[in-house]
Amino acid sequence: MTFRNVLRGIVVLGLATGCNGDEQVAAEVLETSTEPTIFGFGRNADPEEVARWDVDVMPDGAGLPVGHGTVAAGEVLYRAKCLACHGPTGVEGPWDVLVGRVANDEFPFGDGRRAPLTIGSYWPHAPTLFDYVRRSMPFDAPGSLRDDEVYSVVALLLHWNDLLERDVVLDSEMLSGIQMPARDRFVMDDRVGGSEIR
Amino acid sequence: MAENDKTHVSRRVLLSGIAGATGAFLLPENMAGDVANDVVANPAQDSTKVPGTPARPLGERAASERPRRIVSSSPGGVSRTPLQDLQGIITPSDLHYERHHAGIPTIDPRQYSLLVHGMVDRPTVFTLDDLKRFPASSRIHFLECSGNGGAGLSGNPPPARTPQQIDGLVSTSEWIGVPLSTVFREVGLQPTAKWFLAEGMDAAMMSRSIPLDGALDDAIIAYGQNGEALRPEQGYPARLFVPGYEGSANVKWLRRIEFSDRPFMTRMETARYTDPLRDGKARMFSLVMDAKSLITSPAFPTTLTAPGWHEVTGLAWSGRGKIERVEVSVDGGRSWVDARLQEPILSKCFTRFRYLWNWTGSAAVLMSRATDETGYTQPTAAAIREARGPGTRYHYNHIRAWTVAGDGSVTFGSAE
């Protein structure tokens, strides 16, 4: 690789000095270690295209779309699209348990007391619920819910976890303001290798 | 000697396999020749007396070799690599473990595109051909699901477990692709960027945040695996591959990379794939897989047929670099001896270890523990429970044990 680059540099140097004596061009090529800075591959993404693909929602709610939903509408959607996997009230399964708070909002998961990882016990940020339901649910038809429907399903799940009053209309501002019980429970990885077991 | 026994068994199995495969051929009479005894006993099996099968465009394993992944019942998709059937360090691509979150998508490579945007000077869309036009990089690395091998950390796992059932969510391949650093330079990464989101085009639109200050020097967008295009279940046509990072961070079917100054806190890095700790906290972005090893032979369901020499062999790996040492114990961890490390010893890759053991015929407990180049030594399960808490989840890299009974039977566990 290095050898080839040296050769490439020499060739260009020869061409440059031979053809037009442009020493500056030659020097730049010689300084190139292995690759050009830019290859010019790919095409520019236009902003409309980016907006269409950019569906993620940040933990502070940035990226949430315009729209709103209600617990009542969420109940209708849940029965039709969610109940088969998550049970009549979100605790029965057979797949992930969605609903439940730990007494006093403790976080007993590491100390060995068994508790399901529910929205009310183990999700640090409410807007993530919108992100996940919109991108991944329902399992057999992901991406099929309109934004208002996602807001409604999220409203129901928050209500069942005692995090939202029943008659509130949920929109981006309200969702961003909800404090989740597990909000301050998450810490960054502090393992660094070496002899200490963490 | 054990080595001879093993050779003999393999040969017999191989011959019976050939008999099955050639049974449909009409064999000439009078073909008994002066070859090995078992062939004389059955001339129809004498491969020196009948032409073999012709060459073919796509190879297959010998009929008697039937390694298989074990598929779990999961709506997303899980299958485990038959570690006990592997030799050397490379996992055949069709036996690489799987963990999907909503199945395997079918993607037309001509329709594939990767959007790179966010804190960059030039938001860009790359086709697969674009990615392949960049100078390629090739590297051999393990990939492991962070949920691999929970058995034995708490509770009592059933002893009738194979290496595949215990730890089959790890595999090793040669991965080929374009270095992330090349793509980042191409789009003009801005200095304010600290993280990027990697998003898949599967039905889960799997999404994970990756820190830029991590070990990204060796990360690639991979489109090749073990000499060919990625398998669909490994992210065809292109996936993220960050050597040493837990499996789920290596987003398959990669469709979008977005740079940001902070992590995106997706469900798969908060509500899942986080490690609860004993102090009422949970560790997130625990991306690097710490050093680990596993004896793959002898292991359940093997039975040692006689006392004498047996090779204890297995695999060791670390997400932090090279394996520096693997020790083996045959007395349940009371004493340890160095195993021999087989070349090549590569960074963030399976390293094969071997220890020649003279079994006396009495009960024994076999263990292995790996040490990587950072000086980290694979801990006991008790040490992990002590450090993180008894209810911790993910990153189960504790020392494994196999119990050898006086009758030669081998079972999984324990003797901590």
What confidence score (pLDDT) does residue A48 get? 97
Q: How far is CA A23 from CA A5, A35, A38, B371, in A?
A: 18, 20, 22, 53
B388–A106: do the CB atoms touch at under 8 Å? no
pLDDT tens by residue, A9-62: 333 333 333 344 444 544 455 555 567 989 999 999 999 999 999 999 999 999
Phi, psi of A25 (to 5 degrees): -60, -45
How many Cα atoms within 13 Å fall on the side-chain side of residue A147?
A: 12
Report helix, strand or coil for A157. helix
Cα distance between residue B173 and residue B140, in whole Å? 6
- What tokens appear for B281 in the block? 């906290």
- Dihedral over Cα of B289, B291, B297, B300: its sign: negative
Can you say how many angstroms the Cα of residue B411 is from the centroid of all Cα atoms in its chain?
21
- Closest residue in A to B207 (Cα) is A56
- List all residues 6 or more positions away from B166 whose beta carbon is below 8 Å from its beta carbon: B149, B151, B152, B157, B294, B400, B412
Task: For chain B, give the longest Cα–Cα distance.
Answer: 81
Cα distance between residue B101 and residue B185, in whole Å? 31
Mean pLDDT of A178-187: 98
A49–B284: do the CB atoms touch at under 8 Å? no
- List all residues 6 or more positions away from A21 whose beta carbon is below 8 Å from its beta carbon: none
Q: How far is CA B412 from CA B30, B310, B385, in A?
A: 51, 18, 20
How many Cα atoms within 13 Å fall on the side-chain side of residue A122?
A: 27
What confidence score (pLDDT) does residue A16 get? 37
pLDDT tens by residue, A111-135: 988 899 999 999 999 999 999 999 9
B280–A122: do the CB atoms touch at under 8 Å? no
- What tokens appear for A142 in the block? 């992901």
B282–A95: do the CB atoms touch at under 8 Å? no
Count A/B contacts: CB-CB distance under 8 Å: 184
What confidence score (pLDDT) does residue A2 get? 38
What confidence score (pLDDT) does residue B407 get? 97
What confidence score (pLDDT) does residue A193 get? 96
Burial of B275 (0-12, 13-18, 19+ CB in 10 A): buried
pTM for this entry:
0.88
Strand partners, B203: none
What confidence score (pLDDT) does residue B215 get? 63
Pick the residue of B221, B270, B398 with the most A CBs within 10 A to test the interface with A by mutation: B270
Nearest chain A CA: its distance from B124 CA (Å): 5
- Closest residue in A to B155 (Cα) is A112
A95-118: b (≥16 Cβ within 10 Å) or e: ebbbbbbbeeeebbbbbeeebbbb
Cα distance between residue A159 and residue B51, in whole Å? 74
- What tokens appear for A71 in the block? 């617990």
Q: Is B274 an interface residue toward A (CB < 8 Å)?
A: yes
CB B246 within 8 A of CB B287: yes
Of the candidates B346, B354, B248, the residue with the CA atom closest to the CA atom of residue B295: B354
Cα distance between residue B365 and residue B157, in whole Å? 16
What confidence score (pLDDT) does residue B300 get? 97
Strand partners, B239: B222
B354-387: b (≥16 Cβ within 10 Å) or e: bbebebeeeebbbbbbbbbbbebbbbbbeebbee
Nearest chain A CA: its distance from B388 CA (Å): 7
What confidence score (pLDDT) does residue A184 get? 98
What confidence score (pLDDT) does residue B35 get? 44
What confidence score (pLDDT) does residue A22 get? 46
List chain B residues with pLDDT less than 50: 1-36
Of the candidates A40, A24, A23, A31, the residue with the CA atom closest to the CA atom of residue A5: A31
β-bridge pairing B254-260 and B113-118: parallel
What confidence score (pLDDT) does residue A37 get? 87
Report helix, strand or coil for B137. strand
A53–B115: do the CB atoms touch at under 8 Å? yes
Mean pLDDT of chain A: 88
Of the candidates B141, B91, B172, the residue with the CA atom closest to the CA atom of residue B322: B141
Report helix, strand or coil for B295. strand
CB B311 within 8 A of CB B297: yes
Contacts 24+ apart (CB under 8 A), A49-54: A49/B115, A49/B125, A50/B115, A50/B117, A50/B123, A53/B115, A53/B255, A53/B256, A54/B117, A54/B256, A54/B258
What confidence score (pLDDT) does residue B43 get? 64
A110–B255: do the CB atoms touch at under 8 Å? no
What confidence score (pLDDT) does residue A21 get? 41
What confidence score (pLDDT) does residue B151 get? 73
Neighbours of B84 (CB within 10 A): 21
